[in-house]
Amino acid sequence: MVNRPRAASGKTAALRARLEAVRAGGPPQKAAAQRKAGKLLARERLDALLDEDSFHEIGALVRSHSHEFGLDRRDIPADGVVTGIGRINGRSVCVFSQDFTVLGGSLGLAHARKICRLMDLALEAGTPILGLCDSGGARIQEGVDALAGYAEIFHRNVQASGRIPQISAILGPCAGGAAYSPALTDFVCMVDKISRMFINGPDVLRAETGEDVDPETLGGARMHSDTSGACHLLANSEQDCFRLIRELLEYLPQNCLQAPRLLPPSDDPFRESALLEKIALSDPHRSYDMRAVVRELADNGRFFEPHRNFARNILTGFLRLDGEAVGVVANAPSHLSGALDILASEKAARFVRFCD
């Protein structure tokens, strides 16, 4: 007797149709505008970041319960954010991806609750939490409810600090609360010419102060990478951003109770170094490249350096020694003679706190 698969019932077919509609995201014209701006869609970003076929979505059918300003009559797929669990290089991670094609990725109460539930799961399971941020901030139609949602996210950012790695990717214009939460996370990656992060945008600044400033100067990726220090990793494209995040995770533990992944030793610990000998014998009154020294010490010359462009008189980053992940703090004589100032001290202190 041959068992043939039964046709889907009416309810099952209806559920699948609803899920397909949600996965389609916002209107086609919004998706076209997103691509024209050189940006991936929310679900495309998850495909690019995570291991193939590893993503399991949570809360796909969640929607806003707000009735104000006609929100109950609007189609808001997934309430503007895709949340779930996936894998990166075989390791479990919790990740959310905001959908700019759905009400500009704005955060309402249901949107916030999805992120909060994911953060709670990450804390309970002891897995890193990753946020792919592309949001205009609070959903103004939901008023105080949206602000309360941000408060819940900020609270969880603080609770997760020092317990699980928190990584944010800024992949579009993020203003207000959409910038506050990433600033509370451990590492922020931004994409040059695409990412923007500010408390208030240029229009608000112009209305309040009369000052005219372009978005890149006010909150662009290079400004935050070089001047404010809010950006740890500067990427050339979204694909480059995801590559940096995957590489960063290779040096981090799943949580504070575990050690980072130990790799098989691949570098001779007894090898001699002509470069280090040359630097040791050079004129002590002349500067030298500290990065070259760090790379020479590292296994296979690999040094991963967050905050490369900020407070350049000190270096912070990760390398491996005999296969074990190690944090590095080093004065950089080639910039300000490696002297410590306020920014360099804060950069080093924050990195040491994270390593601890």
CATH of the domain at 27: 3.90.226.10
One domain for residues 82 and 175: yes
Helix (H) or strand (E) holding 85: strand 81-88
| pLDDT of amino acid 295 | 93
pLDDT given at position 184:
95
Tokens at residue 254, please?
């799943």
Residue 132 pLDDT = 97
Instruction: Tell me, yes or no, whether 118 and 216 share the same domain.
Output: yes
- The structure's pTM equals 0.91
Residue 82 lies in a domain: yes
Nearest to 249 by CA among 121, 89, 126, 95: 89
| Banded model confidence at residue 74, pLDDT cuts 50, 70, 90 | confident
Locate 99 and state its tokens.
Answer: 């959908």
Question: Of 18 and 245, which is predicted with more confidence?
Answer: 245
Q: Could you report the per-residue pLDDT of 173-193, keeping only the tens digit for each? A: 998 889 999 999 999 999 999
58 strand-pairing partners? 83
Residues 278 and 240 placed together within one structural domain of the fold: no
What residue numbers bound the domain in which 323 lies?
A: 274-355
Average pLDDT over residues 110-125: 96
Q: Which of 87-96, 175-184, 194-203, 267-276 holds the top average pLDDT?
A: 87-96
The structural domain count of the chain equals 2
Query: What value does the mean pLDDT take over residues 133-141?
Result: 89
pLDDT of residue 133: 96
Beta bridge partners of 209: none
Which pLDDT does position 4 carry in this prediction? 59
Question: Which ranges of the chain does DSSP label H, i.e. alpha helix?
Answer: 10-23, 28-36, 42-49, 109-125, 144-160, 177-184, 202-209, 215-219, 221-223, 238-249, 274-280, 290-297, 342-355
Q: Looking at 45-54, 277-286, 308-317, which range is the least confident one?
A: 277-286
The answer on 181 and 113 residing in a single domain is yes
Q: In what order do the strands lie in the sheet with 166-170?
A: 56-58, 81-88, 91-98, 129-133, 166-170, 187-191, 233-235
Average pLDDT over residues 100-119: 94
